[in-house]
Homo-oligomer: A and B are copies of this chain.
Amino acid sequence: MKRDEIMLLIKVGGGKSINWEGVCADLAVIIKKEKAVLVHGANALRDEIAAKLSVPTKTVISPSGLTSVYTDRTAIDVFLMAYAGLANKRVVAMLHRYGVNAVGLSGVDGRLWEAKHKKDILVQEGDKVKLLQGNFTGRVEKVNTGLLQILLEANYTPVLCPPAIGFDHEILNTDNDHALAVMAGALRIKCLISLFEAPGFLEDPEDENSLITHIDKGRIEEFLYAARERMKKKVLGAKRAFEAGVEIIHWGDGRLDNPIRAVLEGKGTTIS
């Protein structure tokens, strides 16, 4: 198999209202024509389990204004339960129901996503900046494309999720959008799809009718300042994906009937 045969890298966010049946149905059609790798989140499920276990997810803000989750050992355990356990296997089983021969893997398996462990993080608390230790996060720097290749060659559809594994072998929470960009580069992917709980990039995050249908990839950084919270990370991830060789990115609504088909038909935001 030539690397170029891997055509689609699709990320589906971990929101509660994602239409997973639609995602799986669309994917079953797509893989008849081209290879695909699916990456998913599970943040809603993670927060739900964390709440039930009375270890609520701790959110911190970096001095540069990015919101992220502070991940201690307990949070990593909840993360594994939600992402690699519940969400990943539910998606894999559902894909099998649609005839897709899915194999679920976390970034830990075969060192699929290798990251540098960031043990201490700086957090903004009011007008003070504090150092938080005992953190288990890291940014993906290396992707085991070989493992993905052998699965794709054998006609399996990889279904991937965080956590990543550190160069120090620790299990690490990681930014999915960054991992996606690094993986797209490593797999020489040209087209990237990201589905979440909004129609695409909204000029006004509160107004679903303010969809921006096209963004010039050269102007992506301007949108970084307009973006809020989670969207900021998607914009940063998109910027990195273009730097890594991606040519077109589709952002679309994971809540629609046929979410992948819709985004490929131009519903959503296209960045190119």
Oligomeric state, in copies = 2
Residue of B108, B111, B156 touching A110 (CB-CB under 8 A): B156
Chain B nearest Cβ from A138, distance in angstroms: 13
Tell me the residues in window 88-147 of chain A with beta carbons closer than 8 Å to chain B beta carbons.
88-90, 92-94, 96-97, 101-106, 108-111, 146-147
CB distance from A188 to the nearest CB of B (A): 20
B93 touches A102 (CB 8 A): no
Q: Return chain B residues, CB-CB under 8 Å to A165.
A: 93, 96
Size category, A interface: 35 or more
A103 adjacent to B171 (CB under 8 Å): no
Residue among A53, A94, A108, A154 facing the most chain B CB atoms (10 A cut-off): A108
- Complex CA distance for A111 and B169, rounded to whole angstroms: 28
Q: Could you tell me if B88 and A169 are in contact, using CB atoms closer than 8 angstroms?
A: no
Q: How far is the CA of A156 from the CA of B84 in the complex (A)?
A: 19
Q: Report A159 CB to chain B, min CB distance, Å.
A: 8
The answer to whether B108 and A104 touch across the interface, beta carbons within 8 angstroms, is: yes
> Binary interface profile of A, 232-243, with partner B (CB < 8 Å = 1, else 0)?
000000000000
Tell me, yes or no, whether A208 is within 8 Å of chain B by CB.
no
Of chain B, the residue at the smallest CB distance from A53 is: B52
- Partner of A96 from the list B85, B105, B169 (CB cut-off 8 Å) is B169
A85: which of B80, B93, B103, B150 is its contact (CB, 8 Å)?
Answer: B80
Cα of A47 to Cα of B7 in the assembled complex, Å:
43
Query: A252 at interface (Cβ–Cβ under 8 A)?
Result: no
A109-B103, A110-B102 known; A84 vs B88 contact (CB < 8 Å):
yes
Chain B residues with CB under 8 A of A169: 93-94, 96-97
